[in-house]
Amino acid sequence: MGLLTVVSALSLLGAAHAEFNIVRHVAPAPRAKEAAALPPAEFSVPFTAKTPRRSSKKGALAALRGKPTKKIPGKKAPGAGGSTVAVDGSDFDEEYLTNVTIGGQHFSLIIDTGSSDTWVAQKGFNCFDLDGNPVSADTCAFGTPGLDTATSKTFQPFPNVSFNITYGDGEFLSGPVGFDTVSIGGLSVSHQEIGVPTLTAWEGDGINTGLIGLAFPGLTSVYNTTDPTKASGANQLPYNPLFLSAVSQKKVKNPFFSVALDRGTFDQQENDPFDPNLGFLSFGGIAPVPVTNTAVTVPVQGYSATTGLPSNAPGSEFFFYTVDVEAYTFPGSNHVITANNNTILDTGTTLNFVPTEVAAAYSAQFKPPATLDPDFGLYIVDCDAKVPAFNVVIGGKTFTVDARDQIIPAGTDDNGNIICITGTQDGGPDVDGDIFILGDVFLHNVVSTYNPVAGEVTLTQRAKY
- Summarize as ranges the residues that interact with ligand NAG (CB under 6 A): 4, 6, 46, 48, 99, 106, 159-160, 164, 172, 174, 199, 224, 228-229, 231-232, 237, 276, 310-312, 341
Find the shortest distance in angstroms from Cβ 225 to ligand NAG. 8
Q: Is the CB of 62 or the CB of 199 nearer to ligand NAG?
A: 199
In the bound state with ligand NAG, the residue whose beta carbon lies nearer, of 28 and 159, is 159
346 tagged catalytic: yes
Q: At closest approach, how far in Å is the CB of 159 from ligand NAG?
A: 4
Q: Minimum CB separation from ligand NAG for residue 12, in Å?
A: 22
C-alpha angle 291-297-302 in degrees, rounded to nearest 5: 135
C-beta closer to ligand NAG: residue 300 or 408: 300
Other beta carbons within 10 angstroms of residue 25's beta carbon come to 13
Size of the chain, expressed as the number of residues it contains: 465
Contact call for residues 243 and 452 (beta carbons, < 8 A): yes
Q: Select which of 112, 117, 430, 434 is catalytic.
A: 112
Residue 388 contacts by C-beta under 8 Å, 6 or more apart in sequence? 330, 331, 362, 365, 366
CB of 237 to ligand NAG, least distance (A): 6
Nearer to ligand NAG, 25 or 58 (CB): 25
With respect to ligand NAG, which residue has the nearer C-beta, 55 or 160? Answer: 160
Which among 284, 244, 241, 298 is positioned nearest to 115, based on CA atoms? 241
∠391-393-397 over CA atoms, to 5°? 110
User: What is the spatial distance between Cα 296 and Cα 32, in angstroms, rounded to a whole number?
Assistant: 7
| DSSP string for 127-188 | EB-TTS-B--GGGG--SSS-B-TTT-SS-EE-TT-EEEEEBTTS-EEEE-EEEEEEEETTEE
Residue 112 designated active-site? yes
Query: What is the closest distance, in whole angstroms, from the C-beta atom of residue 255 to ligand NAG in the complex?
Result: 24
Q: Are strands 407-412 and 352-354 parallel, antiparallel or unpaired?
A: unpaired
403: left (phi over 0), alpha (psi -120 to 50) or beta: alpha
User: By C-beta, is 143 or 452 nearer to ligand NAG?
Assistant: 143
Instruction: Report in angstroms how near the CB of residue 327 gets to ligand NAG at its nearest.
Output: 13
Least distance to ligand NAG from the beta carbon of 465, Å?
Answer: 19
At 219, is the secondary structure helix, strand, or coil? helix
Q: Are 118 and 192 in contact (CB under 8 A)?
A: yes
Query: Of 346, 405, 426, 434, which residue is the catalytic one?
Result: 346
Ordered DSSP codes for 56-116: SHHHHHHHHT-SS-BPPTTSPPPTT-------TT-SS----EEEEEETTEEEEEEEETT--
Distance CA 247, CA 119 (A): 19
Rounded least distance, CB 221 to ligand NAG, Å: 9
Coil, strand or helix: which one is 296? strand
Closest alpha carbon to 445 in 400, 388, 406: 400
Supply the DSSP symbol for 370. Answer: P
Nearest to 6 by CA among 24, 22, 32, 31: 24
Please report how close the Cβ of residue 288 comes to ligand NAG at its closest, in angstroms.
Answer: 15
| Nearer residue to ligand NAG within complex by CB, 114 or 176 | 176
Distances (CA, A) of 259 to 52, 162, 318: 22, 30, 20
Closer residue to ligand NAG, CB minimum distance, 64 or 358 = 358
**Angle CA 383–400–19, to nearest 5:** 85
Measured from the CB atom, is 159 or 416 closer to ligand NAG? Answer: 159
The residues annotated with a catalytic role in the active site are 112, 346
